Amino acid sequence: MSGPRIHVAAGFDAGGELVLPEGPARHLAVVLRLKEGAALTLFDGAGLEASAVLVEVTRKRVVARLDSVAPGRGESPLGVHLGQAISKGDRMDYAIQKAVELGVAAITPLYTEHGDVRLKGDRAAKKLAHWQAVAASACEQCGRATLPPVHEPRALSDWLAARNEPLRLVLHPATEGVFDPNRQAALPDRAALLIGPEGGLSPGEVERALAGDFAPLTLGPRILRTETAPVVALTLLQHHFGDL
């Protein structure tokens, strides 16, 4: 079915009708100016996708009829949890957007020693909601039906302590070692990827990551920006262990 893909966190019932929440409803009626009879695809963020048709479009209410419901596609066999140091402005949005497009399973924004962003109170809540919206928009674009969570920001040390993925990598341009995917005893189904801030991780943070069984990974002779590094690293991981 043609038409836009829209994320709606609701229960899907084939043959039933669904009153769309305010945000998606306004987007369809006001921004896209769709009318009754327009086709669209809805996904619930938990893996289901529905072929739908608009049956009511007014300024106050938009209703879609769900013609069919089926499991969505586009999920990688490799579940990567990205620990991304928080960066300013659009750079964090870019990192989240591209990570979702590349099949990341979860994202945790991280506070690091060299990072210059600290969020508190209402500002933290608004920023988290914004990042989650960026992830949902990326899912709409790339065809995923499962919305990867963007967790609340946390300290790097706390994130490291919670890791148990069989494959753990930290991007560290100063390393002399080269990661060899062929040395993996078995194909991993989960991985953790740590990306530092513009100023890089501190020596102490790198040591803590290595102590937590993270392998250092360099991406070549050029230093990549903090929003570019996850794109390259996730592409390589998906090529070797995922579905690229």
What phi, psi does 240 have (nearest 5°)?
-80, -35
Please name every residue paired with 154 in a beta bridge, in sequence order, or none if there are none.
110
Segments forming the whole domain that contains residue 142: 79-241
Kindly state whether residues 138 and 163 are assigned to the same domain: yes
Quick one: 217 and 123 in the same domain?
yes
Residues listed for the chain = 244
Residues 51, 104: one domain?
no
Residues 6+ apart with CB under 8 A from 235: 102, 244
Half-sphere exposure for 44 (CA within 13 Å, toward CB): 15
Q: Round to whole Å and give the CA distance between 75 and 86.
A: 25
- Considering the domain architecture, whether residues 149 and 28 belong to the same structural domain is answered as no
The pTM (predicted TM-score) of the whole model is: 0.92
CATH code of residue 52: 2.40.240.20
Residue 240 to residues 192, 234, 235, 236, Cα–Cα distance (Å):
15, 10, 9, 6
Count how many domains the chain has: 2
Residues 65, 104, single domain; the answer is no
Written as tens digits, the pLDDT of the chain (244 aa) is: 568 999 999 999 999 999 999 999 999 999 999 999 999 999 999 999 999 999 999 988 999 999 999 999 889 999 999 999 999 889 999 999 999 999 999 999 999 999 888 888 899 899 999 999 999 999 999 999 999 999 999 999 999 999 999 999 999 887 665 666 766 667 899 999 999 998 899 999 999 999 999 999 888 888 899 999 999 999 999 999 999 9
d(CA 225, CA 127): 21
- Of 25, 51, 71, the residue that ends a domain is 71
Pair 89, 158 in one domain: yes
Judgement on whether residues 66 and 85 belong to the same structural domain of the protein: no
